[in-house]
Amino acid sequence: MKEVSNKLSFAQMEEEILNFWRQKDIFKKSIDERPKDKPFSFYDGPPFATGLPHYGHLLAGTIKDVIPRYKTMRGFRVERRFGWDTHGLPVEFEVEQSLGLNGRHEIENFGEGNFNEECR
């Protein structure tokens, strides 16, 4: 039997638990051991496409974490999928640079349809 110290370190205990989960690949097993014929789909939306994180993101993130965990504990096979959406901004930026355009006015002169086609 393991002796328990009277000086507990919750940080150390958490680190030990996390290491155990990593070494044994517990998270993956928690999905793999659930029946494939009892799925619960959960697709998480994109992170922070419109600005810096704030309290609302924390609240939504907590909810989006709790629901899949709960469903997993209820015996469902919940494979988490994360989306990514930046509303096309990186593509638009690269196309704007490659065409030598600078700002909305030049894009409008180039033609929005033409610009959209270049982005595709």
Alpha helices (H) in the chain, listed in sequence order? 10-24, 26-32, 55-73, 89-99, 104-110, 112-119
pLDDT of residue 79: 84
> Averaged over 77-93, what is the pLDDT?
79
pLDDT of residue 26: 94
More confident residue, 56 or 65: 65
- Global pTM? 0.56
More confident residue, 29 or 2: 29
